Structure 1
Amino acid sequence: MATVPGQLIWEIVKKNNSFLVKQFGRGTASLQFSKENNNLYNLNSYKHSGLANKKTVTIQPADKDQAVVLATTKTKKQNKPAALLHKSVMKKEFSRMAKAVENQVADNNYRPDLKKAALARLSVVHRSLK
C-alpha cells in the first residue's frame, strides 16, 4: 500500500476540513484556526497540521490531577489509527516536565521546529491545572 505525501494531503484539506474554524477579523481579513488534536498552535498551516505531517506532538491534561500527557505519533503506524500515538504521562514539577518535553521534541531530532510551540502548550496546560 502506497502512502500519500504530506504536501498532497495538505493541498486537499487546507481550505475545507471538519477541523477548520474561520473567523473574520477587521475589514476583509479572515483568520483560520484548526481544532485538530495534533496541532500545538491551533493554526491552519502546513507546519502545524496534524493531518498532513507524519511526526506530530500533542500535549494535553491527563485525567489525574496535576498530570500532563505528551503524545507523539509513530511514523510506521500511519495506517493503524489505534496504534498511532505513543503517550507518556508526566507527573513531575514544571521544570522537569519542560526538560522532558524539550528532550523528546527537539533533542531527539523528532521535530526541533516545534520545540517553542510544545513548551508554550505545556506552560498553558500546566497553568490550567492549578
Structure 2
Amino acid sequence: MSSALVWQIVRAHNSFLKTGLHGHKFSAEPGNLYNKHSYKDSGLANANSVDVTLENDTLKVSTGRTKTANQPKKSKLVQVIKKNARRALSGIGKHVGSVRPDLKQGAQARAAALAKSLRVKKATK
C-alpha cells in the first residue's frame, strides 16, 4: 500500500491521536518527532520515518527502509549510540540528514533533550 493511502485510512481514527485545547491535534505515535498530526510527520504512514528513543542510558535511532516496507521485521534500521552527547548529536544529524533532511533538526532536538535528561546533576554544597 502507498503511504498516502495508509494516511487516508488512519488519519481520522488511530489510538495515537490526541486532541489538545482549542481543537489542536497531536500524535503520540512512534516515529513522529514533532508530535504533530500530519502526513509529513507521521511514523505510521511514512516508510521513511525516524525515531529517537532512550533505552538503558543509550540513544537509539530507528529509521525506516523503503525497500523492505512490506516486511515489518526488516523495515526498521536501529542504531545504538553510546557516544557523548556532542558526538551523538553530530552522528544523528549526519544519519538522519541522509535519510530525511527535513527531520534532521527535530531529531537533533529530541536527542539533545534525551541526552540532557541522562545528565547527573552535581551536588551543591
Compute the TM-score of the two structures, normalised by the length of structure 2.
0.88
Corresponding residue to 1:77 among 68, 78, 95: 68
How many percent of aligned residue pairs carry the same amino acid? 38
- Corresponding pairs, count: 119
Query: Which structure 1 residue ranges, 4+ long, deviate > 6 Å from structure 2?
Result: none
**Aligned partners of 2:68 and 2:43: how far apart in 1?**
14
Matched with 1:44 is 37
Compute the TM-score of the two structures, normalised by the length of structure 1.
0.85
Corresponding residue to 2:6 among 9, 15, 31: 9
Show structure 2 runs of 5+ residues with no match: 120-125
Give runs of aligned pairs for residues 63-74 of structure 1, distance below 5 A: 63=56, 65=57, 67-74=58-65
Give runs of aligned pairs for residues 42-121 of structure 1, distance below 5 A: 42-63=35-56, 65=57, 67-106=58-97, 108=98, 110-121=99-110
| One-letter code aligned to 2:94 | N
Please report how far the alpha carbon of residue 6 of structure 1 lies from its aligned counterpart in structure 2 after TM superposition.
1.3
Show structure 1 runs of 5+ residues with no match: none
SS at match of 1:113: helix
Please report how far the alpha carbon of residue 59 of structure 1 lies from its aligned counterpart in structure 2 after TM superposition.
0.5
